[in-house]
Amino acid sequence: MDALMLARIQFAANISFHILFPSISLALAWILLFFKIKFNISKDSKWLDAYKFWVKIFALCFALGVVSGITMSFQFGTNWPGFMQTVGNVAGPLLAYEVLTAFFLEATFLGVMLFGYKRVSNKVHTIATFLVAFGTTASAFWIIALNSWMQTPVGFEMIDGKAYVTNWFEVVFNPSMLYRLTHMLIASGLTAAFLLAGISAYKWLKKDKSVIASLKTGIYLAAILIPLQIFVGDQHGLNTLKYQPAKIAAMEAIWKTQKQAPLLLFAIPDEKQKTNHYELGIPRGASLILTHSLDGEIKGLEEFKDNHPPVMPLFFGFRIMVGIGVLMLIISWLAGAQLLFNNIIKPWVAKLLVTMSFSGWIATLAGWYTTEIGRQPWLVQGILKTAEATAKNVSSEMIISTLIMYLSIYVFLIIAFILVVFNLAKKSIKLESLV
């Protein structure tokens, strides 16, 4: 494999590992604030118990997010020196604002939130919880602004091969930014909601009745967010069709420009022969979904020559994301209905919820792969190709050796994380029965 591909795999490995933890902590921070406020108002200890249990998982996610985030700030330079050299004037301030407005805020108040419980007043502690939640969201805002700008760059001019900003408002609120931000925030909400519901269901199955508060919070939150997410995802897709039609063509594996394009449920895209095998589709489906008309024309991959992303990962990445979304809809509504009508969930539904605990991770990763691989061969759409940004003085051997190191650490930590989460859940049950 060449150095470019290895550098991409390494960066992808790191950024995939990283996103797992913010995708939980982003929403979990607000859920914790919710628990805290519920407790402040009701003084019911079940909310405090929920807070105390989930704050541990939050701290763990936060630590994993911080260390993998630090890795990223270095890998910009080690893997993609050409990125900052070309668009540093845009990316620099956005990243700087993230560190300044978000990182310090969340990291500092996290200390107060975790360890200051007995040292500050309840009010200050609630404010600290709020500031941590606010900080994580602010952090997401700046990062999504930059990522969206890489997909749909506006508000700048190129002089001697370098980008110079002409309008900061346009840069930050570029055409895909608000769609992507909303999509990501809800994705985080769903990831946290299913983790909350899954772990609570696990404890509930072990006869711990006290978790009903967090179980309900998780299920209802998921049931409310999933239809919203489907709507926002659809809007985001239309936005992508307008600005990055090649990405949509690859996602739907549409090779030739056509009206009445079918929605493929399954196919094996063949990059060499530029066609699909074993197609199974709904006639006119893609036209209907993407143009909201049965005869809508969709540009095929043929229009983009070789400047289109690889089809296979996008086609399947998108379908995995949507597939999990559908599962989330069915299960959360099922559980929600049982809660609503019987005030209790059936054991088999609880078991389903347990298996769905980390489903948000898979959907989030599949979605990010779709959108980021969908940007290829560009690093910044239309301005800078990924191949032009690599480091010239870093050899494949160096990348391979560090890649193996990173991957083994990541795999180990993901396993450790999942085991510790379930172990914490188990331990907190033991305590319950002792009381």
Binding residues for other proteins, rule: CB under 8 A, are 52, 55-56, 59-60, 62-64, 66-71, 73-74, 76-78, 81-82, 84-85, 88-93, 95-97, 99-101, 103-105, 107-112, 114-117, 119-120, 162, 164-165, 168, 391, 393-394, 398, 401-402, 405-406, 409, 413, 416, 420, 423-424
Smallest gap, in angstroms, from Cβ of residue 165 to other proteins?
Answer: 6
Kindly tell me which of 59 and 362 has the beta carbon lying closer to other proteins.
59
Contacts of 167 (CB under 8 A, 6+ apart): 154, 155
Looking at the Cβ atoms of 112 and 350, the one nearer to other proteins is 112
Smallest separation (angstroms) from other proteins to the CB of 185: 23
Q: How far is the CB of 381 from other proteins (least distance, A)?
A: 20
User: What is the spatial distance between Cα 31 and Cα 378, in angstroms, rounded to a whole number?
Assistant: 37
Q: How far is the CB of 426 from other proteins (least distance, A)?
A: 10
Of 168 and 231, which has the nearer Cβ to other proteins?
168
Q: How far is the CB of 377 from other proteins (least distance, A)?
A: 21
Q: In angstroms, what is the minimal distance from the CB of 97 to other proteins? A: 5
> 276 by DSSP, 3-state: which?
strand
Q: Are the beta carbons of 309 and 374 closer than 8 angstroms?
A: yes
From the CB of residue 384, how many other CB atoms can be counted at a distance below 10 Å?
22
Q: Which helix (H) or strand (E) holds 274?
A: none
Q: Which two tokens stand for residue 364?
A: 């989030």
Instruction: Say if residue 377 is preceded by a cis peptide, omega within 30 of 0.
Output: yes
* CA distance linking residue 178 with residue 152, whole number of Å: 12
End-to-end CA distance of the chain: 59
Quick one: which of 157, 307, 312, 162 has its CA closest to 246? 307
| 3-state SS, residue 427 | helix
Shorter beta-carbon distance to other proteins: residue 62 or 318: 62
207: exposed, middle or buried (Cβ count in 10 Å: 0-12, 13-18, 19+) = exposed
Which amino acid is residue 368, in one-letter code?
A: W
Shortest approach of other proteins to residue 107 CB, angstroms?
Answer: 4
The answer to whether the beta carbons of residues 46 and 216 sit under 8 Å apart is: no
- The separation between CA 319 and the C-alpha centre of its own chain, rounded to angstroms, equals 16
Residue 56 or 206 having the CB closest to other proteins: 56
Residue whose CB is less far from other proteins, 387 or 424 = 424
> Please, which residue, 258 or 402, has the CB nearer to other proteins?
402
- In the complex with other proteins, the residue whose CB is nearer, 166 or 293, is 166
Judge contact between 396 and 6, C-beta under 8 A: yes
